[in-house]
Amino acid sequence: MQISCVYKKLHYSLRMMSHSSIPTTYAQWKHCITVKCGIQLTRPYVTARIATLSEQNSAENRSFRSLYGEQHYQSVKRWFAQALEELDRSAS
């Protein structure tokens, strides 16, 4: 899996090396974020990303969807929600 990540101001972006390098499961996505990118899925980071991803018509999200497609955009939103659920379970 060839993925490079760019991290800027609570934003990550996958630079596509090949079609197969885009995560298709939560486990792959989490590995990309936490291992390849070295980003900790903390509550502040995850909630900030959920808020940003909720602004469907923002320039950032339009760009993301044009690069990776609506299906991947929806998957990433679900994966951040799942990460938040994991954080909630670990806190209780």
Q: What confidence tens digit (pLDDT) does each residue in 29-64 have? A: 999 999 999 999 999 999 999 999 999 899 999 999
Q: pTM, whole model, 2 decimals?
A: 0.79
Cα 39 to Cα 59: distance, rounded to the nearest angstrom: 23
4: left (phi over 0), alpha (psi -120 to 50) or beta: beta
Q: How many domains does the chain have?
A: 1
Choose between 10 and 76: higher pLDDT.
76
Confidence of residue 12 (pLDDT cuts 50, 70, 90): low
Q: Is the pLDDT of residue 8 over 90?
A: no
> Phi then psi for 86, rounded to 5 degrees?
-60, -40
| Domain hosting residue 42, numbered range | 3-91
Beta bridge partners of 28: none
DSSP three-state, residue 15: strand
- Residue 17 has what pLDDT? 44
